[in-house]
Amino acid sequence: MCAPKRCVRIDERPFDQEVPMNRTKPVTRLCGFAVALVFTVLLMFGMCGFVGTAQAVEFAATPIATQADSGGASFSGTLKPGATVTKTFTMPKKGYVVFKVALPQGIGFTRLRVESVGTTYLDTQVANGGTYGASGSYTTSKYSFKPGAKVKVKLSLQGNLQATPVPYTVEMVAKAPAKYETERNNSRAKANALKLGALHSGNLMKSDVDWVVFKAPAAGTYRVYGKTLPLRSGLSSSATMVLYKAKKALVTKNPVSGNGAEALGTVKLKKGQKLFVKATPPVLFPLFNDSSLNYTVRVKKLK
């Protein structure tokens, strides 16, 4: 089901023509109701994806550079309404990627879907996997996959009732900010290391689980902060963060985006003792299909 603001109105004229009920046979009325029901269902699904056979074009896998803010991994061509083009990209060793979609204005809207190749378990999609652009050019939300993972990028054109092919360009841009998660952190054993005072950033996708670990450099009292950043859509959301001392869960918090950093807990530690933070997206996160969920974690020493 697509979001109402992304749908295309095909006809807004009111249906104000009356049909005399005493001249319509019961069987005819029943058939007419069935036809109307089928048409309504097809219309609902057709507005989120053109009804008909989509044309697919496959491109060969293309390795990309792995340095920060790398670009140049792109594909372009022309796209007909209802058609889909697909290209396979290789994820960088660090950070995250965004996709820049260049399209002419006033064409309806496009759907860009990113899928992990060969797995459907963890970190396979951003929400429902789709990013919608009303029209023209746009930049997608952040995608974070395991280093070296191959993903398929599928671009389809919807909502354009003209048969004229539309020119497009899709470019993947890799970014590697400092202290950003490495997407191998789906378990306690592979948690990303968190340094004292350092701001650790991460990106939660559908079914994603992120772990970070802090090892006390000295005995003292430490406070852990968690923060959820606003969604790309502008909607408010919250990551679920569980604070552990070793294997014991201490507290569960849900920092709401827009409220700043929230203290997850204050803990006394001996030198070498560990704190873990487990971050997951909210249960209804798949409904937000145009944005990943970004968060930060920081540890400060009080005394």
Q: What is the pLDDT of residues 245-302, one digit of tens each?
A: 999 999 999 999 888 999 999 999 999 999 999 999 887 665 555 567 889 999 999 9
Q: How far is residue 148 from each of residues 64, 153, 191, 201, measured CA to CA in Å?
A: 10, 15, 18, 20
CA–CA distance, 99 with 258 (Å, rounded to integer): 25
CATH architecture of 56-175: Sandwich (2.60)
Strand, helix or coil for residue 31:
helix
CA–CA distance, 59 with 75 (Å, rounded to integer): 9
User: Which top CATH class is 188-301?
Assistant: mainly beta
In this prediction the pTM is 0.66
Residue ranges of domains in the chain = 56-175, 188-301
In 3D space, the residue among 208, 238, 235 whose CA is nearest the CA of residue 290 turns out to be 235
pLDDT confidence of 41, banded at 50, 70, 90? very low
In 3D space, the residue among 182, 201, 186, 208 whose CA is nearest the CA of residue 280 turns out to be 208
Angle 66-68-69 from CA coordinates, rounded to 5°: 105
CA–CA distance, 203 with 153 (Å, rounded to integer): 19
Q: What is the pLDDT of residues 97-120, one digit of tens each?
A: 888 888 776 666 666 777 666 543
